[in-house]
């Protein structure tokens, strides 16, 4: 790889945000947390990972931008879910 990231580290960089998002999903379902809080928490996790990947210079700028775009979508869904819970798709 041109950015000198080992294959194992590369997969860890990809897996950590996925594990965080699914963990938040499972915890929110188990504790019956409102949907907008779950989405907001997932967005914060995505923003945290995105900023960490940019600041730490792990060579995954595209992954960081995808996470930040996902965070924007999650924030929008959280807003829709808070304002009108009947409009949410899930």
pLDDT in tens, 48-62: 989 988 888 766 788
Question: Could you tell me if residue 33 is inside a domain?
Answer: yes
The answer, as to whether pTM is greater than 0.85, is no
Instruction: Give the separation between CA 58 and CA 78, rounded to whole angstroms.
Output: 30
Task: Give the count of domains, the chain.
Answer: 1
Question: Could you tell me if residue 32 is inside a domain?
Answer: yes
Question: Could you tell me if residue 57 is inside a domain?
Answer: yes
Give the CA distances from residue 65 to residues 60, 71, 78, 81, in Å, rounded to whole numbers and listed in that order.
Answer: 9, 10, 20, 24
State the alpha helices, DSSP H only, in 1-90. 7-31, 35-55, 61-83
Q: Quick one: average pLDDT of 23-37? A: 93
Instruction: Give the separation between CA 24 and CA 7, rounded to whole angstroms.
Output: 26
Question: Could you tell me if residue 6 is inside a domain?
Answer: no
Question: Could you tell me if residue 50 is inside a domain?
Answer: yes
Can you give the residue range of the structural domain that contains 35?
18-86
Instruction: Give the separation between CA 71 and CA 74, rounded to whole angstroms.
Output: 5
């Amino acid at each position: 790889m041109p950015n000198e990231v080992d294959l194992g580290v590369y997969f860890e960089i990809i897996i950590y945000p996925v594990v965080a998002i699914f963990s938040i999903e499972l915890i929110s379902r188990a504790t019956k947390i409102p949907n907008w809080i779950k989405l907001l928490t997932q967005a914060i996790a995505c923003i945290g990972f995105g900023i960490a990947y940019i600041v730490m210079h792990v060579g995954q700028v595209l992954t960081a931008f995808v996470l930040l775009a996902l965070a924007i979508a999650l924030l929008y869904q959280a807003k829709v879910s808070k304002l009108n819970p009947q409009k949410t798709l899930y």
